[in-house]
Amino acid sequence: MTKLNTTDLSIGYEKKIVVNDITVEIPAGKITSLIGPNGSGKSTFLKALARILEPAKGEVLIDNENVQRLDTKAVAQKIASLSQGSSPVSGLTVAEIVAYGRYPYQKGFSGLKEPDHQLIRWALEATNLTKLQDRTLTTLSGGQQQRVWIAMALAQDTDILILDEPITFLDPAHQLEILELLQTINRQGKTILMTIHDLNHASRFSDYLLGMKQGELLFQGPPKEIFTAEKLLNLFDIQATFATLPNSDKPIVMAYNLVKEQ
Ligand SMILES: Nc1ncnc2c1ncn2[C@@H]1O[C@H](COP(=O)(O)OP(=O)(O)OP(=O)(O)O)[C@@H](O)[C@H]1O
């Protein structure tokens, strides 16, 4: 299983550092969710892990190799990453977009081989898109489009999937559909790291949580350890009360109040 970790990682835009000195190992074979307020640096951190942004300091290591020393295709064979609100590509069909997931494995102009087609078919089936494969992306609903991007990442057949807000803009049923899909993929042996704003979904579907605020990693651990009044107050400035999900040991947030300045 591919190991992904960072050492003293700081990332910035121009000269402004927005992610500060993070040393963390993403648990292999688990689902990890990165939670934290808007603007805390979550997307920036994920982009550096996927080698989309270059660190200002420190390192991102895939199997102990600095990602900056690996070429794009080598990284893309280890990590598939989906950014926030991937923009629709006009004119391409669902199957054509999913086929792009095989790009990191193609040599020159050799084209797709049977094993590539098998993976594309599997990715379309896993995301329930087989019937929609000849439709162009722009004719699909937001939720269906989201599934297409996930299918493309699946076709990439990497050990690690990094997803920035994979369920934003989806209705409750489609949110669950995507999260259950990620759970199934995880059980097939893939490491998943995602950002998610819904705390209850984060708890229910994650083995591990990372809490980020103002570019700092405040805490990490399983949901049971993270969902305490003190930690959520610290992270989000909210007062939370908790319950437990039925038939599970996963905590959920029952209700919360804003902490208002006096
Ligand atoms: N391309 C950019 N150029 C300059 N500053 C940026 C850029 N992208 C993000 N930032 C800044 O970096 C900081 C962290 O942003 P980032 O998008 O990583 O936060 P986030 O935790 O993912 O937020 P959200 O939950 O709202 O998606 C913010 O202050 C943001 O304004």
CATH of the domain at 179: 3.40.50.300
Residues 66 and 166 in one domain: yes
Q: Are residues 72 and 175 in the same domain?
A: yes
238 found inside a domain = no
Average pLDDT over residues 50-61: 95
Indicate the average pLDDT of the chain: 91
Q: Are residues 117 and 178 in the same domain?
A: no
Cα 11 to the center of its chain, rounded Å: 18
Same-domain check for residues 167 and 38: yes
Question: Radius of gyration of the chain from Cα atoms?
Answer: 19
105, 140: one domain: yes
Domain co-membership, 195 together with 215: yes
What domain range is 115 assigned to? 87-157
- Ligand 1 binding pocket mutation candidate from 11, 14, 34, 44 (most atoms within 8 A of CB): 44
Asked, for residue 241, whether it belongs to a domain, the answer is: no
Indicate the number of domains in the chain: 2
Measuring CA to CA, how many Å separate 16 from each of 9, 41, 52, 85, 117? 14, 12, 17, 24, 44
Give the residues surrounding ligand 1 with Cβ less than 6 Å away: 13, 18, 36, 38-44
AA letter at 133: Q
Protein residue whose Cα sits closest to atom 6 of ligand 1: 13
Using alpha carbons, select from 205, 41, 100, 222 the residue that is nearest to residue 49: 41
Closest residue by CA, ligand 1 atom 14? 41
Same domain, 70 and 166: yes
pLDDT for residue 106 is more than 70: yes
Residue 213 and residue 123 share a domain: no
Asked, for residue 93, whether it belongs to a domain, the answer is yes
Tell me how far the alpha carbon of residue 183 lies from the centroid of ligand 1, in angstroms: 28
Which position has the higher pLDDT, 16 or 260? 16
5/19 same-domain check: yes
Greater confidence (110 vs 76) lies with 76
Supply the ipTM of this predicted assembly.
0.98
**Residues whose CB falls within 8 Å of the CB of residue 94, separated by 6 or more in sequence, listed in order:** 124, 129, 132, 133, 134, 135, 136, 137, 140, 148, 151
Q: Which of 83-92, 148-157, 167-176 has the lowest mean pLDDT?
A: 83-92
Examine residue 137 and state whether it is found in any structural domain, yes or no.
yes
